[in-house]
Amino acid sequence: MHNDVEKILFSEEELKKICQRLGKQITKAFEGQKVLVVGVLKGSFIFLGDLVKNIDGDLNIDFIDASSYYNGTQTTSHVTISKDLSIDPDGKCVLIVEDIVDSGNTANFLVDYMKAKNAKDVKFCTLFDKPKRRQVAFTPDYIGASVDDNFIVGYGLDYAENYRHLPYIGILKESVYL
């Protein structure tokens, strides 16, 4: 385990099981339809890779970089896009794939954004949900697991761009950011 990690919250094996369950649910929900999977950079990159391997069907994959986060642990309601889609969502079934829904600002913004671009249908899948932290109402369609209000890293999730490569999800030691 990495020195800056207090505790492992989800092991590689548990994350694998989550991806298998979500992949099955999504396969069933979108049966017979082509899906444009949109990963939200950078946090979703490992999750998206593992998730799509468990989806049986026709997919296109794209990424968007949108966040309400600065380089710290505090959220803001202002969402910016720093890398836009390269595939036009017009008329498509879009599945947004996010690492974690916190205030709900990024998620709400992205769903509205896809609708404004005339997506036929927009669904939202998040690996983790922090429902107690919402500032705006938002309910993801697919959730890997709900978590308490700890700052977590690994499996794509960072703190100041570090720890994304860890194969598990860990709670960061407070001493790292205090």
List active site positions: 102
Binding pattern to ligand 5GP, positions 114-153, x when CB under 6 A? -------------------------------------xxx
HEC letters along the chain: CCCCEEEEEECHHHHHHHHHHHHHHHHHHCCCCCEEEEEECCCCHHHHHHHHCCCCCCEEEEEEEEEEECCCCCEEEEEEEEECCCCCCCCCEEEEEEEEECCCHHHHHHHHHHHHCCCCEEEEEEEEECHHHCCCCCCCCEEEEECCCCCEEECCECECCECCCCCCEEEECHHHHC
- Which of 23, 104, 144, 170 forms a contact with ligand 5GP (CB under 6 A)? 104
Kindly tell me which of 43 and 89 has the beta carbon lying closer to Mg ion: 43
- Which of 23, 43, 89, 154 forms a contact with Mg ion (CB under 5 A)? 43
- Shortest Å distance, C-beta 169 to ligand 5GP: 9
Please work out the total of residues on this chain that contact ligand 5GP, with binding judged by CB under 6 A: 21
Kindly tell me which of 72 and 91 has the beta carbon lying closer to ligand 5GP: 72
Q: Is 70 in the site for ligand 5GP (CB under 6 A)?
A: no
Find out whether the peptide bond into 53 is cis, omega within 30 degrees of 0.
Answer: no
Q: Is 39 in the site for Mg ion (CB under 5 A)?
A: no
Kindly tell me which of 50 and 102 has the beta carbon lying closer to ligand 5GP: 102
- Shortest Å distance, C-beta 32 to Mg ion: 30
Q: Is 144 in the site for Mg ion (CB under 5 A)?
A: no
- Which of 157, 166, 168, 169 forms a contact with ligand 5GP (CB under 6 A)? 157
Structure tokens at 178: 């205090």
By CB atoms closer than 10 A (0-12, 13-18, 19+), residue 72 is exposed
- Which positions lie near ligand 5GP, rule CB under 6 A? 43, 67-69, 75, 98-107, 151-153, 157-159
